[in-house]
A and B are shown apart, each in its own frame.
Chain A
């Protein structure tokens, strides 16, 4: 609450509270677990789930065909030996960032507004990383030999090659996945217990009973819970930075003009948070609408996320600028040609598109009116998604298609299977998420209750009008 006091003293118009009044322990508990327990199947949810499952089928088919025929069904060639697959990978990993950032870093920074969104943000992280994880495997020429990237005692007496960024990737991503998973799960335990206690249906009780690992909410439980939660947060924080830095090194370590650049790690991390928060918005806005969570996911949340999107967009823009500047300043013939080609060459349309989406569009968020316009935030978040994906494609494809030897230059044309893999992974993500919101409490009950608790002593001072409204 400290934040709000100051802001009022500065005479600013009071920001939205992170929890609208009128929400008591019971109401919160009730409303959230109801989504899981009572709420009947809505046609909307059913439709969404089925649609996304259709795309999962498409993905499955693509994968089977890919394994049967070979990587050649995609548009990759020499020189453009990496195509959509890697771009999708980088993009998904990026999206996976926001979750841990929100839950870990904002937790350490004691940002209250994180509480009600962190659960599904983390879920989003997990699902995004799962989608991302698919692509490095699939894009291998011989996917069945992927485990050679892992150091194990083999009859060939061989190790993986630890100088290769792909190996770093292998470890970075798997670590990130593990920690996010633990973090997400631990946060889930008390809520699962809550649901368990409310559940009438014995099957659901059994399920949530297992999930909640016998949580009884005793003081000692909470003691351990708190300490380990903070520990995990501290552990996850460096990972947020490390993962995408290392992913960026897949490119930065290469000598390809357009890849070989020191700006990449910070620039990629920023881009990741950028697209990550955009994705959180994309999910949060419909959720609060359809499940009537406006009280817990308030405008305050949306606005804050908008601010972060704006900030990271600026960092990304700086990254673009730096790349161009260095290409010119270094006097490297190849780099400079790459920059020109990026802007005016075969793929220039993609370049201008990404500038429009990632740099120009977010500037609207300087204006509070736009920043608090839920519809615009939603649209913008989609624009940003597209922009960031385009950026990944440009980095991968455009840089490769014209590097050092003009004789080897060749275009890259995505095939129907490239698109199938992309849309399929989107379907997988959506499908998992639909299941999540049905099966698990998507908002951390106990944390929100804590907010309510902190507020208890003096509800009136918060927002008299609302308080009045709350008590008819």
Chain B
């Protein structure tokens, strides 16, 4: 009787059988890749802001200290966004007519706050505390990247749990002397590990892998 299938179906079937085994692995791998990619964790994706504020200019150029605007970073969990008042300390003098800064001036006049787009944030069930990190010698740069090189601010690091744990598990790799915390472009010394261990001792940094460290 006539064969229902042309010969090439043999090959086809072999390919299919093979694919049945390979494809799950392949799909899994692709999914993982996407999951870890900047597309998901938004690293280095500048955000549009009502006013195109440039950290590159203010920090890199003018050399403002982080704490000039983010005043509460050393004392509270929250590194505050500067009040419009802070902007106006300078911009009531310089660039005071620049159209770019109109929203700032309006806000200051009308007493209605500007709504910035948030760049760095973690989910609500993560309780991140700035003061403790800053006081234990974790540089701003370590989590926020080279802010002084960002014309428009973008997320400097993935801020995913795996990334946090990376440091929480071996702080000695990232800790720096307290005085250098606010320095951008800090070059870790060759003996970072030895120095790190020493600092971990000195600053009394302990094991930080309990869920309750961040989740409550």
1/0 per residue A206-243: CB within 8 Å of B? Answer: 10010001100000000000000000000000000000
- Contact segment of A150-158, A277-285, A323-331, A427-435: A150-158
Encode contact with B along A181-202: 1 for CB under 8 Å, 0 otherwise.
Answer: 0000000000000001100001
Instruction: Give A156's nearest chain B residue, CB to CB.
Output: B161
Contact status B165-A209, CB under 8 Å: no
A-B contact count (CB 8 A): 33
Q: Is the CB of B162 within 8 A of A156?
A: yes
Interface residue B4 (Cβ < 8 Å from any Cβ of A): yes
Q: Mark B1-27, 1 if CB is under 8 A from A, else 0.
A: 100110001100100000000000000
Residue A205, interface by CB 8 Å: yes
B161 in contact with A197 (CB, 8 Å): no
A155–B13 contact, CB under 8 A?
Answer: no
Chain A residues numbered 142-191 whose CB sits less than 8 Å from any CB in chain B: 152-158
B189: interface (CB < 8 Å) = no
* Residue in A155, A196, A202, A205 whose CB lies within 8 Å of B160: A155
A193 CB to nearest B CB, Å? 11
Assess whether A209 is in contact with B161, with CB atoms less than 8 Å apart: no
Interchain CB contact under 8 A, B13 and A213? yes
Q: Is the CB of B161 within 8 A of A214?
A: no
Name the B residues within 8 Å of A197 (CB-CB): 1
B35's contact among A155, A202, A213, by CB below 8 Å, is which?
A155
Would you call A157 and B165 a contact (CB within 8 A)?
A: yes
A207's nearest neighbour on chain B, judged by CB, is B4
B115 sits at the interface (CB 8 A): no
Closest-CB distance, A134 to chain B (whole angstroms): 21
Q: Determine the chain A residues whose CB is within 8 A of the CB of B28 once the complex forms.
A: 152
Bitwise, B39-59 to A at CB < 8 A (1) or not (0) is 011000000000000000000
Q: Encode B141-185 as 1/0 by CB contact (under 8 A) with A.
A: 000000000000000001011110100000000000000000000
In whole angstroms, what is the CA distance A155 to B40 when docked?
11
A residues 325-357 near B (Cβ < 8 Å) are: none
Chain A residues with CB under 8 A of B36: 155
Complex CA–CA separation, A213 to B13 (angstroms): 7
- Interchain CB contact under 8 A, B162 and A152: no
Q: Report the Cα distance A165→B127, complex, angstroms.
A: 32
- The residue on B at minimum CB distance from A199 is B4
Residues of chain A within 8 A of B41, CB atoms compared? 155
Quote the shortest CB–CB distance from B12 to chain A (angstroms). Answer: 10
A292 CB, nearest partner CB in chain B, Å: 28
Number of interface residues of A (CB under 8 A): 15
Write out the residue numbers on chain B whose beta carbons fall within 8 Å of the beta carbon of A206: 4
B32 touches A152 (CB 8 A): yes
* Bound-complex Cα distance A153 to B41 (A): 16
Residue B13 contacts which of A154, A156, A214 (CB distance < 8 angstroms)? A214
Q: How far is the CA of A205 from the CA of B161 in the complex (A)?
A: 54
Partner of B5, one of A152, A158, A209: A209
Within the complex, the shortest CB–CB distance from B128 to chain A, in Å, comes to 16
Contacting pair B4 A155 (CB below 8 A): no
A286 CB → nearest B CB, Å: 34
Chain B contacts of A214 at CB under 8 A? 5, 9-10, 13
Asked if A209 and B4 make an inter-chain contact with CB atoms under 8 angstroms apart, the answer reads yes
CA distance A209 to B9 in the complex (A): 11
Chain B neighbourhood of A209, CB < 8 A: 4-5
Interface residues of B toward A: which range?
10 to 19
The binding surface of chain A is classed by DSSP as loop
Residue of B nearest to A216 (CB): B3
Taking the nearest CB of chain B, how far is it from the CB of A139, in angstroms? 24
Bound CA–CA A196/B1 (angstroms): 11
Q: Report whether B10 and A154 are in contact in the complex, using a CB–CB cutoff of 8 Å.
A: no
Q: How near does chain A come to B59, taking the closest CB pair, in angstroms? A: 29
- In the complex, what's the smallest C-beta–C-beta distance from A194 to chain B, in angstroms? 13
Task: Report how far A333 CA is from B109 CA in the complex, Å.
Answer: 76
Distance between B200 CB and nearest chain A CB, rounded to angstroms: 21
Query: Which residue in chain A gives the minimum CB-CB distance to B31?
Result: A152
- Min CB–CB distance B126 → chain A (angstroms): 11
A157–B9 CB distance below 8 A: no
A156 / chain B contacts, CB cutoff of 8 Å: 160-162
On chain B, the residues within 8 Å of A202 by CB distance are 4
Q: Tell me the nearest residue of chain B to A208, going by C-beta.
A: B4
Are B161 and A196 closer than 8 Å at their CB atoms? no
Q: How far is the CB of A467 from chain B (nearest CB, A)?
A: 34
B161 contacts A155, CB within 8 Å? Answer: yes
Which single residue of chain A is at the shortest CB-CB distance from B2? A205
By a CB distance below 8 angstroms, the chain A residues around B160 are 155-156
Asked whether A205 lies within 8 Å of B4 as measured between CB atoms, the reply is yes
| B206 CB, min distance to chain A CBs, angstroms | 19
Q: How far is the CA of A154 from the CA of B33 in the complex (A)?
A: 10
- Please, how many angstroms separate the alpha-carbon atoms of A206 and B9 in the complex? 12
Pairwise interchain contact A157-B32, C-beta atoms closer than 8 A: no
Chain A residues with CB under 8 A of B4: 196, 202, 205-206, 209
Q: Is the CB of B35 within 8 A of A154?
A: yes
Q: Which residues on A sit within 8 Å (CB–CB) of B9?
A: 214
A435 to B41, CA, bound (A): 47
B162 to chain A: closest residue by CB: A157
Find chain B residues with CB under 8 A from A154 CB: 35, 162
Q: Which residues of B contact A196 (CB under 8 A)?
A: 4
Q: Which residues of B contact A157 (CB under 8 A)?
A: 161-162, 165
CB distance from B10 to the nearest CB of A (A): 6
The smallest beta-carbon distance between A416 and chain B, in angstroms, is 35
CA distance A154 to B32 in the complex (A): 7
- Measured between alpha carbons, how far is A196 from B9 in the docked complex, in Å? 16
The minimal Cβ–Cβ distance linking B21 to chain A, given in whole angstroms, is 12
B162 near A155: Cβ-Cβ < 8 Å: yes
In the assembly, what is the distance between CA of A153 and CA of B28, in Å?
Answer: 10
- A214 to B12 CA separation, bound complex (whole angstroms): 11
A202 to B158, CA, bound (A): 57
Cα distance, A416 to B37, chains bound together (Å): 46
Shortest beta-carbon distance from B96 to chain A in Å? 45
Q: Please measure, in the bound complex, the distance between the C-alpha atom of A452 and the C-alpha atom of B128, giving whole angstroms.
A: 76
**Can you list 23 A-B contacts with CB-CB less than 8 angstroms, sorted by A residue number?**
A152-B28, A152-B32, A154-B35, A155-B35, A155-B36, A155-B40, A155-B41, A155-B158, A155-B161, A155-B162, A156-B160, A156-B162, A157-B161, A157-B162, A157-B165, A196-B4, A202-B4, A205-B4, A206-B4, A209-B5, A213-B13, A214-B5, A214-B10
Q: Which 3 A-B pairs have the closest CB atoms?
A: A157-B162, A155-B160, A156-B161
